[in-house]
């Protein structure tokens, strides 16, 4: 009974991870610009891979009896670097002049960029 409960928990984590990765793939295809795509890729793919790694960790720990701290380190590494990487890609695209989609309602970076340009002109 306990093994069946553990296997069910592992399957749930892996299934949730696959769902998030599927949402990422759909977002990369359907979203209109690089900024929306970077958001989809960094957030949902990070959650998807983390969920799958949690399922793998639970399998090896509870079924196989091997506690592997490297999987935990991988989860922490992805949790930290995934969103930061997506943010940096979007910021680089913005400063490279990649246009926003027509549907974009608000541009939060424009006032900051204008303020920086004004500071550089004064120097």
pLDDT for 19: 97
Residue 62 has what pLDDT? 93
Task: Work out the burial of residue 19: count CB atoms within 10 Å of its CB; fewer than 13 is exposed, 13-18 middle, 19 or more buried.
Answer: middle
pLDDT in the model for residue 116 = 74
pLDDT tens readout for residues 43-67: 898 999 999 999 999 999 999 999 9
**How many Cβ atoms sit within 10 Å of the Cβ of residue 65?**
7
Tokens of 36: 């929306």
Cα–Cα nearest to 84, from 51, 42, 31: 42
Q: Tokens representing 75?
A: 């989860």
Res 123: pLDDT: 67
- Please tell me the pTM assigned to this model: 0.82
Cβ pair 70, 78 in contact under 8 A: no
What does the pLDDT read at residue 114? 77
Residue 66: both structure tokens together: 């091997």
Tell me which residue has tokens 């997506």: 86
Residue among 25, 91, 21 at smallest CA distance from 50: 21
pLDDT at residue 119, as a whole number: 76
pLDDT of residue 51: 97
What are the structure tokens assigned to 69, written together?
């701290």
Residues of the chain scoring pLDDT < 50: none
Q: What is the pLDDT of residue 74?
A: 94
* Torsion angle defined by CA atoms of residues 69, 73, 78 and 80, in that order, rounded to the nearest 10 degrees: 140
Average pLDDT, the chain: 91
């Amino acid at each position: 009974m306990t093994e069946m409960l553990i296997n069910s928990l592992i399957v749930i984590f892996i299934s949730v991870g696959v769902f998030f990765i599927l949402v990422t793939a759909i977002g990369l295809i359907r979203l209109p610009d690089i900024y929306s795509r970077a958001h989809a890729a960094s957030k949902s793919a990070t959650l998807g891979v983390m969920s799958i790694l949690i399922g793998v960790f639970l399998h090896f720990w509870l079924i196989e009896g091997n506690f592997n701290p490297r999987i935990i380190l991988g989860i922490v590494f992805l949790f930290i670097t995934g969103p930061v990487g997506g943010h940096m890609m979007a910021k680089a695209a913005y400063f490279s002049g990649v246009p926003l989609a027509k549907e974009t309602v608000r541009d939060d970076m424009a006032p900051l960029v204008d303020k920086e340009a004004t500071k550089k002109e004064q120097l």
